[in-house]
């Protein structure tokens, strides 16, 4: 099993450009997440999904949109990139067990630079 | 609501010394708790997890953590630090069908 796969791994964008980050998981997990990681700020949740066709806002959703049309895929879109969106983006997935959310499985990350 | 506080953004230990990384949580229901490790330019991987069974949890690479309800703590320890333990460590909490909440991380430096 591949686990959680993110594409692309690196990307440089110009301010105002748009792009989509793809996350795919092959573990049949219900929950999927997009985080961004910035120095000294830990992991901040952008958006998440608790099932196919559902999405919800996290802590820092502004400037991002997501879609989960298929259970195994979770897409993160930047409509008009800004330098403040320069970050490392991580996708993760997890599943519910005994009334709680279990450990998250992470992808390897996408390093995005907006110039 | 749930939250996690990691005390100390940077911790330095000598090789062979005890590693202690602190994590305190807040949760309105009995939580699940996790420690993750992140090596440079990699994603996060699970070190260990507490899911309401034994309060002392053993993980990979010789790490362990003890769930203390009275102190709302889940500190990570390792008896003897190795150079390969240098990484960033994240504590996380899950309480109910909510998103997993992460702490801000602790960077561990191991001094030869």
Q: Is B33 part of the contact surface with chain A (CB cutoff 8 Å)?
A: no
Q: What does pLDDT average to over chain B?
A: 92
Distance from CA of A108 to the nearest CA of B (A): 4
* Cα B36-B42-B45 angle, rounded to 5 deg: 25
Question: SS3 for A48?
Answer: strand
Distance from CA of A30 to the nearest CA of B (A): 11
The Cα-based distances of B16 to B37, B65, B78, B82 in angstroms read: 19, 18, 10, 6
Contact assignment for A99 to B97 by CB distance below 8 Å: yes
Work out the burial of residue B91: count CB atoms within 10 Å of its CB; fewer than 13 is exposed, 13-18 middle, 19 or more buried.
Answer: buried
Token pair in block for residue B27: 């949760």
Q: What is residue A3's predicted lDDT score, i.e. its pLDDT?
A: 93
pLDDT value at B2 more than 80: yes
Mean pLDDT of B86-100: 86
pLDDT value at A80 more than 80: yes
pLDDT value at B98 more than 70: no
Q: What is residue A2's predicted lDDT score, i.e. its pLDDT?
A: 78
Question: For residue B47, how many C-alpha atoms fall within 13 Å in the half-sphere facing its CB?
Answer: 27
Mutation target for A interface from B3, B6, B25, B43: give the one with most A CBs within 10 A. B43
């Amino acid at each position: 099993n591949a686990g959680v796969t993110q594409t692309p791994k690196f990307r440089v964008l110009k301010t105002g450009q748009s792009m989509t980050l793809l996350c795919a998981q092959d573990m049949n997990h219900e929950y999927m997440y997009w985080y961004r990681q910035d120095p000294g700020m830990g992991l901040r949740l952008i958006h998440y999904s608790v099932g196919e066709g559902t999405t919800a806002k996290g802590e820092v959703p502004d400037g991002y949109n997501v879609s989960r049309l298929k259970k195994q895929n979770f897409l993160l879109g930047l409509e008009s990139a800004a330098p403040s969106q320069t970050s490392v983006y991580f996708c993760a997935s997890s599943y519910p067990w005994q009334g709680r959310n279990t450990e998250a499985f992470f992808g390897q990350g996408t390093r995005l630079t907006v110039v | 609501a749930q939250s996690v506080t990691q005390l100390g953004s940077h911790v330095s230990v000598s090789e062979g010394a005890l590693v202690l990384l602190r994590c305190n949580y807040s949760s309105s229901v009995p939580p699940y708790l996790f420690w993750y490790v992140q090596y440079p330019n990699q994603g996060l991987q699970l070190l260990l997890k507490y899911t309401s069974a034994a309060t002392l949890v053993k993980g990979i690479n010789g790490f362990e953590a003890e769930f203390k309800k009275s102190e709302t703590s889940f500190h990570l320890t390792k008896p003897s630090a190795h150079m390969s333990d240098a990484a960033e460590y994240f504590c996380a909490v899950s309480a109910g069908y909510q998103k997993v909440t992460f702490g801000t991380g602790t960077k561990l430096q191991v001094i030869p």
